[in-house]
Chain A
Amino acid sequence: MKWNGIDYRLRIEARLDNPGWVGVVSSIFGILFALIVGGFVLKAAGASNPIATYREIFKEGFGTFADWQAGLHAVVTNTSCPKGMLCFGPLSDTLVKASPVLLTALACIIAFRMKLWNIGADGQMFLGAWAATGVAVFILPDTTNRVVMLTVMALAGISAGLIYGIIPGFLKARLNINEIITTLMLNYVAYKWIEYFVVVGPWSIGDFESTGHFPAAATWPRLTEYAKQYPITAGLTIHPGIFLGIVAAILLAWILFRSRWGYEIRVIGDNPRAARYAGINLKRNIILVMGLSGALAGLAGMNEVAALRELNGRFQRGYGFTGVIVAWLARLNPLAAILVSVLFGGLLVGTKLIQPQGIASMLQGVILFIVIGTELLFHYRIELDKVELASVVVENKSLNDNELEEEISRDQ
């Protein structure tokens, strides 16, 4: 590019001095910038005042300060939520939405930490939902104890996701087949699998495209069940799923940062050659990590059917992809993922009533796009150079992700 008669050239250099706060700043900056860009899209879509729209989304997703105040008052006095107030309703809905998001985000985090790009959490979640449903509706008697029933459903969901994650893991480890393609394609297999069972196949009841309601023991207990004793809980659908997610996040953080296995995962993710040099078994870890990733997504599926109380043809797609975005925004930190999941839960709930539909997906997309874009700005120094001094060779090591493939092929 010419300017003032001097030839300039862009130079991209990896920054070595990357303090920890850079990630946080880049995530927050990404969200803010995405909201600005999204505002223009909202405007173009016909919103007269995008800021008002955002305020509405936030209100729908989390409630207002007055709502919370009224809610707290009702808790203290053990009365019901005053008329015209939402109290904890929005928050409850948001946490319900946040739990599958959190679990799929954790599934992505563990895989991404090892640079295994599992974008099949959606499919693994579907299979988890399918297995949990099978156990609840067709295997265990309806009279089973609730704790036993839910535990067995969780185990079924975890196992199904585990197996579904191990398939691409095994293909990657043994045959060096790109996991991005296999996990993505296996999503569609899972969608069709569920479709076969509940839409056309053996599990549907009549023309309802549904398994019908689960027995009571196979559903998450909700806060609203206690409305008789505590009137404030009326209408609150919050269930233990979010706590399941939080416990999983804490466990995953422990595994990553405090366990031998987590150390191996981080070494492989950062430098697979050094891992092999240290005697770490790459192939076993690829299979194990894909298994754990699938298991977490499978648990998300169980969680979702236990909350929906049925498996039907409208079982929602896309949580696995939202998980990718949340994992990235959380900088692959399981604990940060808790916070980001709640934010995204709020976004999903708050945009439900907004027309046109798809605003939530649009904002998610813009956020991810901008966060990854700003990553480049933060991790690389971009300089304008006079061509006179331009160095032709661009040091670009960290953009090379083929190392894992190379090392797998060397590891006979």
Chain B
Amino acid sequence: MTESPFAFEMHGIVKRFPGVLANDHVDFASRVGEVHALLGENGAGKSTLMNILAGLYRPEAGEIHVGGKRVSFHSPQDAIARGIGMIHQHFMLVPSHSVAENVVLGLKQPRFFLNLASVEEQVDALGKQYNMSVNPRARIWELSVGEQQRVEVLKMLFRGAKVLIMDEPTAVLTPQEVETLFGTLRDMTAHGHTIVFISHKLDEVVAIADHVTVMRRGEVTAAAVPSKGITKPQLAKLMVGRDVMFLVQKKKSQPGDVVLATDHLCADNDRGLPALQNISIQLHAGEILGVAGVAGNGQRELAEVLTGLRNPTSGTIFLGDQQLDRSTNWMEISQKLAHIPEDRAAFGSVPGLGVSENLILKSFNRPPISTGWSINTASVRENGTRLVKQYNISTPTIDTPARMLSGGNLQKVILARETSGRPNLMIAVHPTRGLDIGAIEGIHNLLIELRDQGTAILLISEELDEIFSLADRIAVMYEGMIVGELPPERANLNTVGLMMAGTKVES
């Protein structure tokens, strides 16, 4: 069998964002008529690379060739003119408009008179051809998410896309919808289309892709490997890599009483699909339980349920002797329960308020910050000055709005606020994501210190190094379940990689 020609090639692509090298001389190419999976953790640079291919970003260095010719894209319109279209995670559809209206939205032609009937016919024909019919007269809001995704695909096909980039297309779909999508993708490749499938879900990659390219921290760690010849654990290993281990000095843990106990905890995600299935964990004072897993396997929902941001559908949570449920006053227990949220800008801080006011977000409702109805300004300032100094937060003044701080300093503000109250339980979600090495080390030491003071820590992280070096016990999550638990001595990339891919390992 002769290999088909390249649909596109990218050579030496470099893209920088403030503080991050998102793509470091990346080469990536895909052949006509294949499904090519681009695999990698969050922040590995997959979406950036594909946004460059789709004309949304301009690379600082590197070349793009389409059909053998060098091209330069200034906008997504340029890319689609060369037959490259991207379907983003968040659909770009107008809910109150019909399918056909959305399909022609943004097209330069026709200028004045829109023959919607003929568009509807064409959309209908396209849908039939690829076995994904959608009523072209239906309004977007009437459609399911799976159908909306089809509209996005049809939109691109209507514009003549030969190469279709799909950014985590299955993240919002039910298992049945995923099956349908995969059928469609196969039909499309049979018609000579090329699909780039961005994902961090190993199962799907193995199920649908012809070739896999793996990225990690802005670089390609495996290029165009045939998916037949590679196993899920191997892929997991390529994804999480084998970087220099962070070495953290720590004593053996001295586990105390049970601080957190959950029993058969279940919860749904934002789409109303089950995200947590029968999670039963016990966490003791003075130990760190590391939760590993590929993103999107329920870690976020677990953290949200434990901190009151999401209601469980069933199961129980105990913090010490106290049961946490709908009737819990979360503000009252916020002293005992610390939370480093996944998205520090969106959840952890109040951007318009000053640093000192951000530092009291969890303690503003009790002495010494407030007495009765009033807030004691002097003690707010004293608290701010003290924590800024103690945690080495670099800020012009303690009244500087939080939005002006860098990511690392903002994280320090959050850590200072959450740890200074000597919490019983700390839920730390990706505490070092996006930070530089120095900041990471400081945060790791702080977490160990907190543990030694008797705090129970649930550490959710995608960085296996972080989990290996910090955790006293390691649990692995897969599809909303804990698939196994290991002591760190027994954990290595192989076993954890297997578990992250859904294989149960006897502990």
Contact = CB atoms under 8 A, between A and B. Distances in A.
A257 to B, nearest CB: 8
B352 interface: yes
Contacts of A266: 350, 352-353, 357
Contacts of B373: 259-261
Nearest to B371: A260
B375 A258 contact: yes
Nearest to A7: B74
A279 B308 contact: yes
B347 A258 contact: no
B375 A277 contact: no
B300 interface: no
B329 A271 contact: no
Interface string B350-378: 11110001001110110000100111010
Nearest to A267: B350
Contacts of B350: 266-267, 270-271, 274-275
B331 interface: yes
Interface of A is mostly: helix
B349 A274 contact: yes
A353 B375 CA distance: 48
B307 interface: yes
Interface in A365-380: none
Contact of A393 (B56, B311, B330, B357): B56
A260 B370 contact: yes
A279 B404 CA distance: 25
Given A270-B351, A271-B350, A277-B348, A263 B308 contact: no
Interface residues of A, number: 30
A274 B410 CA distance: 14
A1 interface: no
Contacts of A17: 404
A263 B357 contact: yes
A412 B352 CA distance: 26
Interface residues of B, number: 40
Contact of A273 (B58, B347, B377, B404): B347
A387 interface: yes
B403 interface: yes
Nearest to A274: B350
Interface string B19-59: 00000000000000000000000000000000000001110
B171 interface: no
Contacts of A393: 56
Contact of B362 (A260, A278, A392, A412): A278
Interface string B400-423: 010110000000000000000000
B334 interface: yes
B245 interface: no
A279 B334 contact: yes
Interface string A109-152: 00000000000000000000000000000000000000000000
A260 B352 contact: no
B377 A274 contact: no
A274 B339 CA distance: 12
A11 interface: no
B387 to A, nearest CB: 16
A144 to B, nearest CB: 33
A274 B347 contact: yes
A55 B319 CA distance: 70
B334 A278 contact: yes
Contact of A274 (B56, B361, B404): B361
A280 interface: yes
Given A263-B357, A274-B361, A392-B56, A279 B349 contact: no
A276 interface: yes
Most chain A beta-carbon contacts within 10 A, residue among B58, B347, B350, B357: B350
Interface in A216-274: 258-264, 266-267, 270-271, 273-274
B144 interface: no
Contacts of A279: 308, 329-332, 334
Interface string A386-412: 010101110000000000000000101
B352 A270 contact: yes
Nearest to B307: A277
A270 B353 contact: yes
Contacts of A275: 350
5 contacts: A267-B350, A267-B353, A277-B347, A281-B331, A389-B58
Given A263-B357, A267-B353, A278-B361, 12 more contacts: A260-B375, A262-B375, A266-B357, A274-B347, A274-B349, A277-B309, A277-B347, A278-B362, A279-B308, A279-B329, A281-B331, A393-B56
Interface of B: 56-58, 74-76, 307-311, 329-332, 334, 339, 341, 346-353, 357, 360-362, 364-365, 370, 373-375, 377, 401, 403-404
